[in-house]
Amino acid sequence: MADVFLLEWTFTPPDFFEEAVTFTSERGSISIESGRAEARVLANLYPPDHSLRNQLHEELNARFLAAQVLGHKAYTLSKSTLSRLHPDGRRDAWLFAEPGMLTLSGGIADFVVHDASGRVIRDTRKERIERRIELAQRASVFITDTVANAILRSYSAAVNDPKNELVHLYEIRDALSQHFGGGSAATAALQISSAQWSRLGQLSNNEPLTQGRHRGKQLGVLRDATNAELTEARDIARAMIESYLAYLHADKK
């Protein structure tokens, strides 16, 4: 039995992924359950400069960023502790003085639909978890892509800075427009409707909303965005992120 490096993280809320999940990568696997995550790496594959620790953290955080896109729920994720486990039971530990990351929380209502015989034909919780796992996997693969990294972090900023939520959501549209050379090219490449593209622009730029981009031009008539307007903007931004990650995934094949 060989020495193993054990990396362990804590996160909140503990049910952020709703159930135990194991993600695999070229470096091994990361298990996530009840507010804790861990990765085990054979000692001969762990570099002495601890660079792999940082890489694994970025991969894990990418999965949290992707899950946040679907749940619009903030999180905290610690930096990992690090231990070396020896076959004889000895454990060597390293200490790193580093801050974590902070966010908020929200709730989701689920339903299960059965047919006349009692067979489940729709389970929204199961669908959401499967969708989250797929998106998280893609995010971890493409987090080094400049655009993917930017739009995931813009959505995270929208969750954590609600007073400027529409500003941050619009950054996603703006980044995609710049990357593809304009809105028409972006919508064509990502198979997003021009109506969705325009609607996010309208909500972010034209409506007199306190969370929007041009508040200084509409003083005296500003109002808070309604829940329906915020939900609509989030759904459009979410579709853009999922479409871009799917675009990268298809291009890689």
**Which residues 6+ apart lie within 8 Å of 213 measured at CB?**
166, 167, 170, 204, 205
Domain boundary among 115, 143, 171: 143
Please name which of 189, 160, 194 lies closest in space to residue 176, comparing C-alpha atoms.
189
Please say if the pLDDT value at position 211 is more than 90: yes
Distance CA 218, CA 239 (A): 29
Q: How much is the average pLDDT of 130-156?
A: 94
**pLDDT for position 121:** 63
149 shares a domain with 77: no
> Helix, strand, or coil here: 14?
coil
Supply the range of the domain harboring residue 213.
145-252
Mean of pLDDT over the chain: 87
Spatial separation of the C-alpha atoms in residues 253 and 251, rounded to whole Å: 6
| H-helix or E-strand spanning residue 9 | strand 4-12
Domain-terminating residue out of 95, 116, 143: 143
Domain ends where: 125, 143, 161?
A: 143
pLDDT tens track for 45-101: 889 888 999 999 999 999 999 999 998 988 999 999 999 998 888 888 877 655 543
Phi, psi of 100 (to 5 degrees): -100, -160
Co-location of 105 and 183 in the same domain: no
**Going by DSSP bridges, is the β-strand pair 4-12/21-25 parallel, antiparallel, or unpaired?**
unpaired
**How long a stretch of residues is the chain?**
253
* pTM of the predicted structure, to 2 decimals: 0.78
Bridge partners (DSSP) of residue 33 are 36
Do 137 and 158 lie in one domain? The reply is: no
Same domain, 55 and 123: yes
- Whether 114 shows a pLDDT value over 70: the answer reads no
- Name the phi and psi angles at 107, rounded to 5: -130, 160
* Same domain flag for 18 and 113: yes
Q: Are 85 and 169 found together in one domain? A: no
Which residue, 240, 241, 236, 233, is CA-closest to 209? 233
Tokens of 147: 């655009």
Number of domains comprising the chain: 2
Percentage of residues in the chain having pLDDT higher than 90: 62
Pair (37, 104) in one structural domain: yes
Question: Which H or E element spans position 244?
Answer: helix 227-252
